[in-house]
């Protein structure tokens, strides 16, 4: 597997507008860095305002072209073909993703790329199964609905699951007949750049999918958010960025869907099966270096099993292998980049100022001199009010806190500004239902974590998001519905 790294050509990332990669503007090129090696792996062409305008114009024009006349079956066939092409290129895409993000290659293969293909296959099936609503109102009138695509959709994406989250938006967008201007995160441009080639190979007409690279403020992200010809914005990223995008989109009243930050509770009752809890908690704490919006970074353990849990959890965490993402045995790769690395380390320092005790981890591994690696870190002794328990760290860092009663842990679980995901571990069925119904979060898992079915709603409440994605929830975002009433 080591060979994959050297055999993977790094790709320079150009903007893709109206079916073509366009020439880069020399002074707007910026370097793309591999976080595991700190080496430059290519460059990225930051889009100018004019190029973003051209991308939006191409997407608008494409709505009137052949794409607008595609039947549902034709759209479904194209989606299926894109999914197939992702699978045909699965190893190359996984190697690009691992190189761009620093995540373990095997994780990129299973979690990012295969699931990206599944997003297309799912919506290829989904779109052929739909029917419109109709109502006969007491033989006075017949009502029926007509749906049409919402129009040009801007997709602004984060760096943690680049292709997976991009395709989670693009597949329903195309299924609904919309056109897209995608902006990947500036730190992870490679798989999106490869994806537009695959879309073209699958037969998508020019202008339907466009790609602009760049940053947020004063760059492609902001240009798209305020663009008068963008009809809807789907954004995944930080809560603070969501508020900025919402303000920029307000004057033109764009439809918005926001998947934002989280600080998710993982609640462990004493009656749960601790071995199973620990197997899954290792993943929910440290998968993708803790850089999954759904990671359970606040672990609440019922006091009677607190010591036993900690002893086993620390022991198993120490066994995790950290290092080269292309090594088959690697569990933990590098975090995304220098700035984020420093941010995560600053939270570990802050935890100590907040009287936290580090039970394992706490910094960069002594054996790895280069790359943005941080040891999986477990902290105890923090209070519910501490910043490390309240704020999203988004790294391989968890806080473990004891609790004595269901009421107490429910109050803790709901006591942050976020409301994305929560996990409950218990073998008491009634308690599982009772607690699940009271947790303020868009997703609640009982005795599992990260188990998803694409038909189910996905998203956050409070400061974790606006709207839901998944099945009909995704699809409706990309549609406008009219009701037609015919007097009988
Ligand atoms: P980020 O908000 O910094 O960036 C996300 C995207 O927004 C990037 O493409 C960036 O260039 C762009 N952007 C930044 N400023 C902008 C602006 N002013 N206008 C327009 N676009 C702008 O987020 P990130 O650091 O890339 O990702 C990590 C965050 O994403 C975490 O908070 C995590 O919880 C969240 N996330 C949430 C989900 C979810 O489903 N809820 C999933 C993954 C990640």
DSSP symbol at 371? S
- Positions annotated as catalytic residues are 259, 293
- The pLDDT-based confidence of 11 (bands split at 50, 70, 90) is confident
Mean pLDDT on 56-72: 98
pLDDT digits (tens, 9 = 90+) for 110-148: 999 999 999 999 999 999 999 999 999 999 999 999 999
Mean pLDDT on 163-174: 98
Tell me how crowded residue 466 is: count the other CB atoms within 10 A of its CB: 16
| 419: β partners | none
DSSP symbol at 25? P
Domains of the chain, by residue range, sit at: 2-260+464-487, 265-454
Domain 265-454: CATH superfamily is: Aldehyde Dehydrogenase; Chain A, domain 2 (3.40.309.10)
What distance in Å separates the CA atoms of residue 303 and residue 296, rounded to the nearest whole number? 19
What distance in Å separates the CA atoms of residue 364 and residue 368, rounded to the nearest whole number? 8
Locate 1 and state its tokens.
Answer: 């597997």
pLDDT digits (tens, 9 = 90+) for 253-286: 999 999 999 999 999 999 999 999 999 999 999 9
3-state DSSP helix/strand/coil % of the chain, to nearest 5: 45, 20, 35
Q: Does ligand 1 have an atom closer than 6 angstroms to the CB of 297?
A: no
The residue whose CA has the least distance to atom 28 of ligand 1 is: 237
Q: Does ligand 1 have an atom closer than 6 angstroms to the CB of 182?
A: no
pLDDT digits (tens, 9 = 90+) for 373-386: 999 999 999 999 99
Q: Does ligand 1 have an atom closer than 6 angstroms to the CB of 469?
A: no
The residue whose CA has the least distance to atom 9 of ligand 1 is: 185
- Report in angstroms the alpha-carbon separations of 344 from 290, 324, 375: 10, 20, 11
- Say how many CA atoms lie within 13 Å of 54 toward its Cβ: 16
**Ligand 1 geometric centre to CA of 420 (Å):** 15
Q: Which residue has the tokens 């894109």?
A: 82
- Mutation to probe ligand 1, out of 168, 225, 241 (largest number of atoms < 8 A from CB): 241
**Ligand 1 geometric centre to CA of 238 (Å):** 4
Locate 216 and state its tokens.
Answer: 């947020």
The residue whose CA has the least distance to atom 8 of ligand 1 is: 185
- The pLDDT-based confidence of 9 (bands split at 50, 70, 90) is low
Atom number, ligand 1, closest to the C-alpha of residue 183: 9
Give the end-to-end CA distance of the chain in Å, rounded to a whole number.
Answer: 68
SS3 268: strand
> Is residue 102 predicted with pLDDT exceeding 50?
yes
Find, among 261, 258, 103, 106, the residue nearest to 190 by Cα.
Answer: 103
Mean pLDDT on 77-86: 98
The residue whose CA has the least distance to atom 30 of ligand 1 is: 237
The residue whose CA has the least distance to atom 35 of ligand 1 is: 237
Atom number, ligand 1, closest to the C-alpha of residue 224: 20
Strands 255-259, 20-21: pairing is unpaired
Q: Does ligand 1 have an atom closer than 6 angstroms to the CB of 296?
A: no
Fold match, 2-260+464-487 / 265-454 = no
CATH of 2-260+464-487, one of 3.40.605.10, 3.10.20.30, 2.60.120.10, 3.40.30.10: 3.40.605.10
Percent of the chain with pLDDT over 70: 98
What distance in Å separates the CA atoms of residue 333 and residue 25, rounded to the nearest whole number? 33
pLDDT digits (tens, 9 = 90+) for 177-227: 999 999 999 999 999 999 999 999 999 999 999 999 999 999 999 999 999
Contact (Cβ atoms closer than 8 angstroms) between residue 297 and residue 290 = yes
pLDDT of the residue at 236: 98
69 contacts: CB under 8 Å, gap ≥ 6: none
pLDDT digits (tens, 9 = 90+) for 301-323: 999 999 999 999 999 999 999 99
Give the dihedral of Cα atoms 117, 18, 187, 198; nearest 10 deg: 30
- Mutation to probe ligand 1, out of 100, 157, 233, 237 (largest number of atoms < 8 A from CB): 237
Locate 164 and state its tokens.
Answer: 């997976």
329 contacts: CB under 8 Å, gap ≥ 6: 321
Its pTM stands at 0.97
Tell me how crowded residue 346 is: count the other CB atoms within 10 A of its CB: 11
Q: Does ligand 1 have an atom closer than 6 angstroms to the CB of 442?
A: no
Locate 229 and state its tokens.
Answer: 């010809």
pLDDT of the residue at 10: 64
Mean pLDDT, rounded, of the chain = 97
Tell me how crowded residue 92 is: count the other CB atoms within 10 A of its CB: 16
């Amino acid at each position: 597997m080591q060979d994959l790294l050297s055999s993977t050509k790094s790709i320079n990332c150009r903007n893709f507008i109206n079916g073509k990669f366009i020439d880069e503007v020399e002074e707007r090129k910026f370097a793309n860095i591999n976080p595991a090696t700190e080496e430059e792996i290519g460059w990225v062409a930051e889009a100018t305002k004019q190029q973003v305008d051209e991308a939006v114009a191409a997407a608008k024009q494409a709505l009137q072209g052949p794409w607008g006349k595609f039947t549902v079956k034709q759209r479904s066939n194209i989606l299926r073909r894109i999914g197939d092409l992702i699978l045909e290129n699965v190893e190359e895409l996984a190697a690009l993703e691992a190189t761009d993000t620093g995540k373990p290659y095997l994780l990129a293969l299973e979690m990012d790329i295969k699931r990206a293909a599944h997003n297309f296959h799912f919506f290829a099936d989904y779109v052929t199964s739909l029917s419109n609503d109709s109502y006969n109102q007491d033989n006075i009138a017949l009502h029926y609905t007509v749906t049409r695509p919402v129009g040009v959709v801007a997709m602004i994406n984060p760096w943690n699951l680049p292709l997976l989250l991009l395709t989670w938006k693009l597949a329903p967008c195309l299924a609904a007949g919309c056109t897209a201007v995608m902006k990947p995160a500036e730190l992870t441009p490679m798989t999106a750049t490869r994806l537009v080639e695959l879309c073209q190979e699958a037969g998508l007409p020019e202008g339907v999918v466009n790609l602009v690279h760049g940053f947020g403020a004063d760059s492609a992200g902001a240009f798209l958010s305020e663009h008068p010809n963008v009809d809807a914005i789907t954004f995944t990223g930080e809560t603070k960025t969501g508020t900025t995008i919402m303000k920029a989109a307000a004057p033109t009243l764009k439809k918005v869907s926001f998947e934002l930050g989280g600080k998710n509770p993982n609640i462990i009752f004493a009656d749960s099966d601790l071995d199973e809890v620990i197997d899954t908690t290792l993943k929910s704490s440290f998968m993708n270096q803790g850089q999954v919006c759904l990671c359970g970074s606040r672990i609440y353990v019922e006091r009677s099993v607190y010591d036993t849990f900690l002893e086993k959890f620390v022991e198993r965490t120490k066994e995790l292998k950290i290092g080269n993402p292309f090594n088959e045995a690697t569990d933990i790769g590098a975090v995304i980049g220098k700035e984020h690395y420093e941010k995560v380390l600053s939270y570990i320092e802050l935890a100590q100022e907040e009287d936290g005790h580090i039970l394992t981890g706490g910094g960069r591994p002594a054996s790895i001199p280069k790359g943005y690696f941080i040891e999986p870190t477990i902290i105890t002794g923090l209070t519910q009010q501490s910043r490390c328990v309240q704020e999203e760290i988004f790294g391989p860092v968890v806080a473990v806190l004891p609790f004595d009663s269901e009421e107490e842990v429910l109050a803790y679980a709901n006591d942050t500004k976020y409301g994305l995901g929560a996990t409950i571990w218990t073998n008491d069925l009634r308690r599982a239902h009772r607690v699940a119904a009271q947790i303020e979060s868009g997703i609640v898992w009982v005795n599992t974590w990260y188990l998803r079915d694409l038909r189910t709603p996905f998203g956050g409440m409070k400061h974790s998001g606006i709207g839901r994605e998944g099945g009909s929830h995704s699809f409706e975002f990309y549609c406008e519905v009219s009701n037609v009433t015919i007097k009988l």
